[in-house]
Chains A and B, each alone.
Chain A
Amino acid sequence: MSAAAATSAKAGAAPSGELLLRCRGLVVGYGGEGLLPPLDLELRRGTLVGVLGRNGSGKSTWFKTLLGLLRPVAGRVERSAPGLRMAYVPQSAGLDAILPLSARDVVAQGRLTGTSFLRPWASAEDRRVVAGALEAVGVAGLARRRFRDLSKGQQQRVLFARMLATRADLALLDEPTAAMDVEGEHEAVAELARLAHGEGMAVVLVTHALELAERNCDELIVFDRPARRVVHGPSAEVAGGEVYRRLRGELA
């Protein structure tokens, strides 16, 4: 399946969730130079999308462009509404562990948008949402613990709670399971699937755990930079294709 064919594959899947974000002829890259061919795809509410590819394949560049941190080389990213709420979840290992923040402090960051931080204290509504988010991902008991003292799996769950607290329509997660053991990885991806389907978010997940993504994600996007191809479609369809099989062989 080629990049041009990606749109038709997606159309074939007939996704039913509300359209949140659409890439139209989107070319991502640096300094005016595109890394990949133009990409057309849609992200819809209630879906878990896995983004796969080797290191340096352009996944992070695409992510940064969707998040509005990089300008597209060509094409555009269309949001369904100007007020579309987005959340970003990094690898917990990439965060600054020297800050003595509690798990609750980290989740409360999800309530900050624009200049809302100018209010020195959290509102009662914010506190309620934060407590609910901690409860929803099963880390309410860790609320007062220092974030840096938690295990990698617990830290990632706290970051998932922060994502929930943003009340985001669309969440983008950059290799959130990278530092976890296999069991933790399984739990985290299952949790994300539950959040996407249960909370009605669109969750886009960059991962190297191919089989987990194939099993849990509704859709897959595979970046194949050497061949300058991007394949996108329902998981079963993409997983049956040549690009995915080759990637699995390379990452094995």
Chain B
Amino acid sequence: MTPAAAPTWDDFVVAWELFRDPILCAFAAGAVLGMLSVYVVLRRMVFVSAAVTQSAALGVAAAFYAEIHLGLAFDPVFGAAAAALGATLLLLFDPKKLGVSRESVLGWVFAATGAATVVLGSRITQEAHDIESILFGTAVLVRPLDLTLVLAVGAAVLLLQLALHRGLVFASFDPVAARVQRLPVTALQSAVLLAIGIMVGVSARALGALPVFAFSTMPALTALLLGAGVRAAFVVAAVIGALSGVLGYLCAFFWDLPVGGAQAGLACGFALAALVARSLYRLASWAARERRREAAPGGDARA
């Protein structure tokens, strides 16, 4: 038996109609989640993103379970969005009044939604492939409803970011001074959390939880490792997110990889490449400084 020939660009072009929607969806979700990742990373909310993504996966599992066992038919994308939004609203609550940290609430949300997803998944074996798609992003195709929602929510989040980013950066850097200058700090912080929640929710159904988590964390890490300032970080992170989504899909096509794994892996690869580039730049800068010091009159003559 001869192995199947590897796909070529011609195969891709021929099947473009089939791939157009998932690539557009990955581009939009990657760009918007990448931009939001700057807030996730700079405000130390990486675990928030993990918990909300996990909740979205539970929402999808719950939608399948409700349809199969309870006869309640509603689209899994709405289950994902509702669960992600519910988790976000829970995380808006300040648990300090109960004497516990936000991290402990995040841990509870992550563990509880993860456990519930696994338990529900075991009861809907006929949809097991869909659950796997949601968790790891193995879905090759994207439904028109999912694409429409990702584009619509993505555009709304983009506009919100343009309108709020100056206030959000100030409120993150120095919330007391921002309050003194009468900025609506709590409303701003809630708005960004809700934006992350709803975008993660609609994207998780379309792309899967794993790439969505990667898009909402890794692009900012890459941008910051490259030394971007705050404004540039939003742009660089959006580009990295979009590239991870699109190139990940292409990698999956050409090398027969799971789509979600390829997209998440590429996002992590960009961050690793940025780390290597930064280390090399620092090394080169140090070497140049040393050379200048030694060349200067009266410089170190150890050599």
Contacts and interface: CB of A to CB of B under 8 A. Distances in A.
Interface stretch (B163-171, B198-206, B295-303): B163-171
Which of B165, B166, B178, B184 has most chain A Cβ within 10 Å? B166
B251 interface: no
B230 interface: yes
A12 B165 CA distance: 49
A68 B179 CA distance: 9
Contact of A112 (B172, B181, B227, B233): B181
A90 interface: yes
Nearest to B171: A117
A100 B174 contact: no
Contacts of B164: 117-118
Contacts of B183: 112-115, 117
Given A69-B180, A99-B169, A120-B163, A109 B230 contact: no
Interface string A82-94: 0000111110000
A88 B42 CA distance: 23
- Residue of A68, A90, A105, A112 with most chain B CB atoms under a 10 A cut-off: A112
A92 to B, nearest CB: 10
B14 interface: no
**Dominant secondary structure of chain B at its interface with chain A:** helix
B177 A90 contact: yes
B70 to A, nearest CB: 45
A24 to B, nearest CB: 21
A69 B176 CA distance: 8
Contacts of B174: 90, 95-96, 109
A109 B172 contact: no
Contact of B228 (A87, A95, A100, A113): A100
Contacts, number: 87
Nearest to A113: B181
Given A106-B173, A109-B170, A101 B230 contact: yes
A89 B42 CA distance: 22
A114 B166 contact: no
B80 interface: no
B182 interface: yes
A102 interface: yes
Interface string B206-245: 0000000000000000001001111001000000000000
Contacts of A119: 166
A87 B177 contact: yes
Interface in A197-247: none
B162 interface: yes
Contacts of B233: 100
B176 A112 contact: no
B172 A117 contact: no
A87 B180 contact: yes
A102 B229 contact: yes
Contacts of A114: 181-183
A160 to B, nearest CB: 13
Interface of A: 67-69, 86-90, 95-96, 98-102, 105-106, 109-110, 112-115, 117-120, 146, 162, 166, 172
Given A86-B181, A117-B166, 16 more contacts: A67-B179, A69-B176, A86-B180, A96-B172, A98-B42, A99-B169, A99-B172, A100-B229, A101-B173, A109-B178, A112-B166, A112-B167, A114-B181, A115-B183, A120-B165, A172-B180
19 contacts: A88-B176, A89-B177, A95-B174, A98-B44, A99-B42, A100-B227, A100-B228, A100-B233, A101-B173, A106-B173, A109-B177, A112-B181, A115-B184, A118-B164, A118-B167, A119-B166, A120-B165, A162-B177, A166-B181
